[in-house]
A and B are shown apart, each in its own frame.
Chain A
Amino acid sequence: MQAEAVRGNRLTGFVSGLPPVAWILFVMVVVFSFASPNYFELRNISNIFIQSMPLMLVAFAQTIIVLTEGIDLSLGTQVSFVSVLWILLCQYGVPILAAAAITVAVSMGVGATNGLIIGKGKIPAFIATLGMQYVLYSTSLLLTAGASISFSDYLFQFVSETKLLFIPLPVWITAVMFCLTWVMLYKTRLGASVFALGGNPDAVTLAGVNANKSLIKIYGFAGLLTAVSGLIITCQLESAQPIVGSGWEFEAVAAALIGGTSFREGKGGIGGTILGVLLISTLKNGLNIARVPSLYQSAIIGTIILAAIIIDVMVRRRRNG
């Protein structure tokens, strides 16, 4: 996003400056389009986008946390928890939008608690958030007695089926959250502290910043993103799903890494994460449409994720000389 000067013609500069994952994505779309006639249709492209929005939001959250040299293993169960809490509140008679607001607040609180445990408690992020994952996992299951809870409201269909200027509402919502995250990362002090914490954590304190407070805010912000993700997936499934988000945290890490974010030095950003998520979603969708049996799919997805990350690292290394 920042400095790197664009040399020569702007367009060629832009094209050669694209991260490698963009090329891999492009190649995949071409391959799938040839492999199956139904692939390159507006409807399917729209499908891919709608399907990937909830994961996209979680991946944004994971990206900012990975930038701080942390990881949040509880993001997936946070999504499930949000789904459960929202519907339960609705069932207790809380108006649906008010319930959504409460749920978002609780989710941010859960994130902030992660930040508190990691910062003040000096517990490694891996362990702290793993603990939170377990707690939320069983809380969600206990609250629903293990099963999903159905609830109907016009809002659900409104969110999952409305289109504005041919673009589905979940995509708009995600776009707004992207802008919010972008501004937070690149235009606020909190954002600077995200990169700083990953780059040189000791120096953050020397600069007079309360690193613990920053961590609480950052994980809280992640909680906001997962909350919106949980609300969208609940609308799409029209029910509270106690285990819907399990495993998303890892797909989110994969998407962030594919997008060029690094576990070291606070390197990366959320722009690449968009491509990372689209790569994963496109792969899953394309493999289904090309009728690749699911037992092969995981292996193919894993291989391509690895290849994408390796190519990304190599290309970046070459570019930097």
Chain B
Amino acid sequence: MKKVLVGLVSVVLLVAFLVAGCSSPAPKTAQQAPAAVADSKPVDHSKLPTKGIGTSISTDVKAKKPYKIAIIVKNTTNPFMVKSIAGTQKAAKDMGFECISLSPARQDSIDDQVKIMEDAIQMGVNGIILHPIDSNGIMPAIRKAEAANIPVAVIGTPAAKETFLRSGVDYTETGVLITKAVAELIGKKGKLIIIEGPPGAQNAIERLQGIKTALKDYPDIQVVASQTANFKRTEGMQVTENLLQKYKDVNAIIGANDESALGAAQAVKAAGLSGKVVIGGFDGNQDGSAAIKSGEMAVSYNTDPFGSTYLAAAYIVQFLNDGTKPPKFFVPFPSALDDPIINAKNIDNYISNIAWWK
């Protein structure tokens, strides 16, 4: 038995050394920025093929033939993915094409998503709107689609190389805008806690960069803590509870998404600090909107999956009609030009006319 124990311990140690030895250079390699985020200036909105954002979005583009366009998502449990499908379906109705929605049977599984891409190509679709599960892993499948002359528009997580189009929000921009909004609300000075997204997740990394970039303009705001909650409400609550023990005088909290921000809001309420802490999040989802209406959260960013896929569909239809390409590879949407910040002032209008989750 002793020998076994020694053996086990040495195995564990070996693994630990392996991890320790290799983990230091790893982040460098892991954060390979996707090829095309450099030029992310918003496109002039008069040139977009669509008008409005959220559920109020509309277009004049009509499909000349009954094209088949596939929307491929990451899973069917996240409302963001569900509304991406809904956006494409509305686009199909408005523009007159056939929408095929596909999702991996195993949630968030990159190899299943690759298989689905291949299946879609096999079905003879004319275009693909895609939420890639992984920037790198999806590339071979995208190449196959392109080899079959099928335009691929990606939303959210970008692909590792330029494709026909990238739409959806520019995560860096969202970080910048929310930070500015929060900073104005606390009078450009005070103590800030950042609740980060999952380590390694591309969108979370870019969003954090945006937040840090924006903070450079506010030297009086001090970041007292920055910890991860993996985009989850429960973890957001736990992390915030712990931090509030230490920093009772915090002025603002920015969560990397609405869920983690909502967790923070619960912790703030439990600590009896309601109204004293400004909380910002991202997504403008249903619970987030309710929290802004009730004042528990201050601001959020309308990341609008509904409008993003709708816009992507419009570009694909235009291209299929007459070969018109998007003005550039990355068309951020909604961007600063679309007035994406949700706050106490516009929350009623947002909920009744725009909200993507309805």
Contacts and interface: CB of A to CB of B under 8 A. Distances in A.
The short answer to whether A and B are in direct contact, CB under 8 Å, is yes
Interface of A: 36, 38, 41, 43-44, 47, 51, 54, 88, 91, 113, 116-117, 120-121, 135, 139, 141-150, 156, 160, 233, 236-241, 243-244, 246-247, 284-285, 287-289, 291, 293-295, 297-298, 301
Interface centre among B30, B110, B120 (most CB of A within 10 A): B30
27 contacts: A47-B118, A47-B122, A113-B11, A116-B4, A117-B4, A120-B7, A139-B19, A141-B200, A144-B200, A145-B26, A146-B30, A148-B135, A150-B136, A150-B139, A236-B111, A237-B136, A237-B140, A238-B137, A241-B134, A241-B137, A243-B110, A284-B105, A285-B115, A285-B119, A288-B115, A289-B119, A291-B100
Contact of B111 (A36, A237, A287): A237
Interface of B: 3-4, 7-8, 11-12, 15, 18-19, 22-23, 26-27, 29-32, 76, 100-106, 109-112, 114-116, 118-120, 122-124, 134-137, 139-140, 160, 198-202
Contact of A147 (B7, B104, B140, B200): B200
B227 to A, nearest CB: 15
Nearest to A240: B136
Given A148-B135, A284-B115, A294 B105 contact: yes
B19 A38 contact: no
B11 A239 contact: no
Contacts of A145: 23, 26-27, 30-31, 199-200
A299 B136 CA distance: 30
A117 B124 contact: no
Contacts of B26: 88, 142-145
B135 A150 contact: yes
A236 B27 contact: no
Nearest to A128: B8
Contact of B8 (A38, A121, A141, A239): A121
Given A43-B122, A47-B119, A120-B7, A148 B136 contact: yes
Given A38-B122, A121-B7, 12 more contacts: A38-B124, A51-B115, A88-B22, A88-B29, A121-B4, A143-B23, A146-B201, A148-B134, A156-B140, A239-B137, A241-B134, A284-B115
B86 to A, nearest CB: 13
Q: Give 8 nearest A-B pairs by CB, closest first.
A: A146-B200, A239-B136, A150-B136, A294-B103, A145-B30, A237-B137, A288-B119, A147-B200
A236 B101 CA distance: 24
A51 B118 contact: yes
B18 A139 contact: yes
